[in-house]
Structure formats: C-alpha cells, structure tokens
Structure 1
Amino acid sequence: MITLYLAEDQSMLNSALTQLLELEDDLHVVGSASDGATAWTEIQQLQPQVAILDIEMPALLGLDVADRIKAAGLTTKVIILTTFAQKAYFERAVAAQVAGYLLKDSPSDDLIEAIRKVMQGQTVYAPELVVNMLSANNNPLTERELAVLAEADKGLPTKTIAANLFLSAGTVRNYLSAIFSKLGVHNRLEAIKLAKQNKWLV
C-alpha cells in the first residue's frame, strides 16, 4: 500500500482527489491540508511515502514544503500538481529534486500512474512542461554534463565514457543521474533526444 499526503487549497479539488485516489487498491491517503504550514507539520508526523503538493497555497508554497522535505532528509517523495507552468516554479521544482511535476488539467490516470512510477524510483515531469520551459537559450546542463551526454550519444558504455573524460565510472553515473533529473527523463536515449531537439547537442 502506497501512503499519500495531499496538500491542495481548493477544498472541492482536495476532496475529489482524495476520493479518486482512495478508489485505487494500492493507494491510501493518510492526511490532507489546505495550507502549506499544516502540510509540512503533518508530513513530518505521518511520514507518507508520497506527498502531492499544490504550489500556491497559504502559509507555505508547495515548493517551500518540497524544499523542507529535502533539507530534512525525509524519504517522502514529492509530486507537484499545479495549474502553473511558470519557468521559475519549474526550475525550483528541479532544484528541490521533486519526483514529479504535473499539471492539474492532466488526466487523473496520469497522476495515479505518476505515483506508481515515482515509487519505482522514476522521475515524472509533464512533457509539455519540459518542452515549454527548456529552450536553446536556457540550457540547464553544465559543460561537463554536456560532455558526458555527448559521449553517451556515441553509444559508449559508462566505463568507456569515464576513461575518455578522465572520470570514475561512479562520477559518470552521478552526472547521468543529474542530467535525467534536470531534464525530467528516464534514460540516456530520452536525454539525448531532448538535448538535440533543443540544439544543446549537435
């Protein structure tokens, strides 16, 4: 059973989402709040496996709560669920290493699938967010990350990439993990495809 916490300041949506999630045999909502401060207090007490957070809430933003979860070293995974596709919010979400970032107008099945995916260690960002937020003029990757991705584009294994760039294999894996997180993708092929679409790789 996956335990969930829901923070949403619109009471009708909060109630509707809770009922929807409780219909799934493997999901259980252990608590909910309509403001960020209450959410943060109860998340510390309840230690849910996944926290689904709206961004704009009274007292604390959902992203403030996500920052505190990360800083406190809690194992709770965060999914941001919002109507706002703002660049600054998305960048903060990536920095806070949230496990998911979805728009409220996405189908409910997308949220349920995202919950299960993040419990498997995956990162789930709405594709339209990644495409809209990341452009050729806003490359989130460092030069070293781009170098690692360029080597990966050659189809090289991790050990060979490490040797070519005078790095350890573990460091290369860390770079790849950071790339996947920043771009909201799950593997090398998706990262390379997105980087080429944005002309970060040629």
Structure 2
Amino acid sequence: MVLQQKKPIEIVIAEKNPLLQSSLIKLFSGDDRFSVLTVASDGERFLAAAERLHFDVGVIGWEMPFLDGRGVLQALRGKADSPRIIVYTGSGNADVPRQAMALGAAGFCSKNDPPQQLLDTITSVAAGKMVFPFIDVARLAADPFAGLTPRERELLSSLAGGLTNQQMAQQLDISLNTVKFHLKNLYDKLGVSNRAQAVAFYLKGRDGR
C-alpha cells in the first residue's frame, strides 16, 4: 500500500525586516510540512498576494509600513475563502492578541517565542484551531480602557482636556504624525470615529467607574 504524501501547508508571509524574512524562509524550507509561496514586505503587498494566490495561512506582522496588521485583518474580514491569519510580532503591547482576535485572526505568536512555537501555531491554525495566549476577557469587558496603552490613555485625557493635536504633540514631545497615529489606534480600540465621540466615551467610562 502506497501512502499518499500529505499536501504541505501553503504560507504567505508579510514581514518588513529583510533579515527576518530570510530567517523565516530558511526555517520553513527545512520542514516539508510547509511551502512558502511568497514573502511581502508590507500589508499592501500581502493583500495583493491574497488577491492572486490561494493559500492556507498568512503570517503577518502587526507594525508594518503602508498597511499594518490591523488594516490587513480589517480588509480580509467577511471575504470568502480568505486565508487564516496568524499575527507574528515583537510588539510589546500586551493588548495586541486581543485586538487580533477581535479582528478575526486565527492565531498569535510572539517573535520572542522559540521558532518551534511558530511552526506549532501554523499547523494548529491550518487544522482549524485558534491559538492565542490567555486573554482575560472578563477584565477587559469590565474596564473599557483596559486595552489602551499608557500613551493612548495620556492622549485620551488630553483630548478630554480640549487640547489640539499640535498642543498634544508639544506637551508629550512627540511629532504631530505620531499623535495622529496614536489617535487612529485609540479610535479603533474605542470603536469611535472622531475626537468628540472619544471624549464622550471617556467621560461616560470615567463616570461609570
């Protein structure tokens, strides 16, 4: 009886760091369970690959140029035949796994984990499982601001104080573009679209504590 060889798991990677790109290709090439179809350097190129290729699992960064991991997940939500996505990041933000899960990711793996952890996560996700570190959903639900970084909490407080973007940049000694970047993330996490709604959310949450 001839055993039929199992089809390898087809992967597309989105990783901005060329050195890590090479390391990942080497990691997967040494394991016949996996087949890397292509490597993208940013989120936009990953989505372009997802349009033209059919693959099983996407391994994407969270902080990427042009389109970040959040943007990739938002773009793929609700699309038929979308690949299962694993967020693979070195971000120190402990809330990233929860955000990734909420946006439809199938798994999360930290770059600080051993390489074997990534391989195990991919095989589990390809088999239909979800792989995430422990997330205290009850705590997050109880505190609407639990998912915010310290910087985002500062900005939210400054918004409530009536400061403009320029004033916040000066007060925190960061660039105007950095303020805008943090505000975008803040609005996404709170589920609001502008500063007035963010301030209303802040006041309601503060009063409810």
| Class of the TM-score when normalised by the shorter of the 2 chains | 0.5 to 0.7
**Match among 44, 57, 60 for residue 53 of structure 1:** 60
Match of 2:140, SS? coil
Please give the alpha-carbon distance, in whole angstroms, between the structure 1 residues aligned to 2:23 and 2:62.
Answer: 18
Q: Structure 1 residue 74: deviation in Å?
A: 2.9
Match of 2:139, SS? coil
Please give the alpha-carbon distance, in whole angstroms, between the structure 2 residues aligned to 1:124 and 1:85.
Answer: 19
Please give the alpha-carbon distance, in whole angstroms, between the structure 2 residues aligned to 1:8 and 1:122.
Answer: 23
- The range that moved more, 116-125 or 67-76, is 67-76
Match of 2:128, SS? coil
Aligned twin of 2:34? 27
Q: Structure 1 residue 137: deviation in Å?
A: 3.4
Quick check: 1:55–1:63 contact (8 Å CA) kept in 2?
yes
Percent of matched pairs sharing the same residue:
26
Superposed counterparts of 1:70-81, under 5 Å: 70-81=77-88
Task: Write out per-residue CA displacement over residues 11-66 of structure 1, whole angstroms, 9 at most, x where no aligned residue.
Answer: 10011111101211110000111111111111121121100000111110022112
Aligned residues: 135
Quick check: 1:6–1:18 contact (8 Å CA) kept in 2?
no
Q: Structure 1 residue 125: deviation in Å?
A: 1.1
Task: Write out per-residue CA displacement over residues 83-139 of structure 1, whole angstroms, 9 at most, x where no aligned residue.
Answer: 114255333211122111111010100110111101111111134xx3xxx375323
Please give the alpha-carbon distance, in whole angstroms, between the structure 2 residues aligned to 1:136 and 1:121.
Answer: 25
- The range that moved more, 88-97 or 77-86, is 88-97
**Match among 75, 78, 82 for residue 68 of structure 1:** 75
Aligned twin of 2:141? 139
Aligned twin of 2:197? none
Please give the alpha-carbon distance, in whole angstroms, between the structure 1 residues aligned to 2:49 and 2:104.
Answer: 21
Quick check: 1:85–1:103 contact (8 Å CA) kept in 2?
no
Match of 1:71, SS? coil
- The range that moved more, 35-44 or 118-127, is 118-127
Counterpart AA for 1:62: G
**Match among 104, 126, 129 for residue 111 of structure 2:** 104
**Match among 16, 19, 39 for residue 23 of structure 2:** 16
Computing the radius of gyration over CA atoms, which structure comes out larger, 1 or 2?
2
- Where structure 1 has 5 or more consecutive residues not aligned to the other structure, the ranges are 141-202
Please give the alpha-carbon distance, in whole angstroms, between the structure 1 residues aligned to 2:42 and 2:63.
Answer: 9
Please give the alpha-carbon distance, in whole angstroms, between the structure 2 residues aligned to 1:135 and 1:65.
Answer: 23
Quick check: 1:101–1:125 contact (8 Å CA) kept in 2?
yes
Q: TM-score, normalised by structure 1?
A: 0.62
Whether 1:122 aligns to 2:129 is yes
Aligned twin of 1:39? 46
Quick check: 2:86–2:107 contact (8 Å CA) kept in 1?
yes
